[in-house]
Amino acid sequence: MILTVTLNAALDVTYRVDRLRPRAGNRVRATAARAGGKGVNVARVLHALGHRTVVTGLAGGPTGAAVRRDLAAAGLTDELVPIAGESRRTVAVVDEEADDTTILLEGGPHVSAAEWTAFLDRYEQLVPHASVVVLSGSLPGGLPVDGYAELIRRARAHRVPAVLDADGEALRAALGEGPALVKPNADELAAASGSSDPYAGAEALRAAGARAVVASLGPDGMIAVTPHGSWRAAPPAALAGNPTGAGDAAVAALAAGLVAQTPWPVRLTEAVALSAAAVAAPLAGDFDPALHRRLLPQVTVEPLRTREGESPCR
């Protein structure tokens, strides 16, 4: 099974309004809520692709209970560890007239040292059964900044590879433990590496310990810098839609490829097609399966050829 870790699980709420009027009262026409957080989105995509997945992480309070009810409804195996604090909500306000979305992101709960220890115990029970662990998203307050480093170290002790989708200090502090793959977006990569060139940035993260780096570049696709070579993969055209969850779909594809040990160009093709098919779906964690199938043969993958001292990226 694939173990996804969501330490800051969320209830993703969607409000539809006719027109979002700032500085006024806005009647919400329709409300939807479902379990979220990047790791949950990854699990949802993997589950839809037919992979056995287990969701762990931290959830608490009435909002955490709503997250867990929704995981059960979606048929996802729930191994979340309870905490005393209230899990966060995200609120996406969809302006139907303007066809755009404004997102409000709560900060999330504070986690105690005892709760973190309880999580590590659960993680130790789950990791030996995993073919890969996926660590996604922000760390809630109270967790050590090297929390992901600790989880990668423990996975490695069981010879289980780890995929990390995090940013900032949580990402930097984890590189030294040798994650099998990190997947920053362009901004996160630049922040973590100090380089605005994605290839140079990816090489810097590899030098710091990551075995492979896949950087998502939005509509431009992805670049991968790996022990087996470097590639750029791109969709046939930029797709309009909801970019939230596109990165999570890419992570799902890359984790599945890691399990199957498919060649990198195949993994990247899957990641780009699934990511684009996720952009076309209104909710994070969903993707358009017909579009996914249609896009697969249209994704282009080309090796990045580097000349001495020169980046293959613009």
* Residue 113 binding its own copies, by CB under 8 A: no
Q: Which is nearer to its own copies, 65 or 200 (CB)?
A: 65
Which residue among 52, 84, 96, 107 contacts its own copies (CB under 8 A)?
107
User: Annotated catalytic residue: which of 12, 146, 248, 288?
Assistant: 248
Phi-psi region of 37 (alpha: psi -120 to 50; beta: other; left: phi over 0): left
User: Tokens 């957080």 map to which residue?
Assistant: 37
Q: Is 220 a catalytic residue?
A: no
The pattern of x and - marking residues 72 through 91 that bind its own copies according to CB under 8 A reads: -------------------x
Q: Write 169-176 long-range contacts (CB < 8 A, 24+).
A: 169/145, 170/138, 170/139, 170/145, 172/208, 173/145, 173/146, 173/148, 173/149, 174/135, 174/146, 174/148, 174/149, 175/205, 175/208, 175/209, 175/210, 176/149, 176/208, 176/209
Q: Which is nearer to its own copies, 102 or 195 (CB)?
A: 102
Instruction: Tell me the three state secondary structure of residue 154.
Output: helix
What the block records as the tokens of 180 is: 């099998």
The pattern of x and - marking residues 24 through 43 that bind its own copies according to CB under 8 A reads: xxxxxx-x------------
* Residue 141 binding its own copies, by CB under 8 A: no
* Residue 186 binding its own copies, by CB under 8 A: no
Type of residue found at 127? V
**For residue 303, what are the β-bridge partners?**
231
Which region, judged by CB under 8 A, interacts with its own copies, from 99-107, 142-150, 213-221, 246-254?
99-107
Q: Which is nearer to its own copies, 1 or 65 (CB)?
A: 65
* Residue 23 binding its own copies, by CB under 8 A: yes
From residue 22, alpha-carbon distances to 17, 19, 46, 102, 200 in Å are 12, 10, 38, 11, 42
Which residue among 63, 87, 269, 275 contacts its own copies (CB under 8 A)?
63
**Cβ 191 to its own copies shortest distance, Å:** 16
**Cβ 178 to its own copies shortest distance, Å:** 31
Count of residues interacting with its own copies (CB under 8 A):
29
| Residue 261, φ and ψ in degrees, nearest 5 | 55, 40
CA dist., res. 259 & res. 163, Å (int): 11
Which residue among 77, 102, 298, 311 contacts its own copies (CB under 8 A)?
102
- Name the residues annotated as catalytic: 248
Binding residues (CB under 8 A) for its own copies: these are 15, 17, 20-29, 31, 62-63, 65-66, 91, 93, 95, 98, 100-107
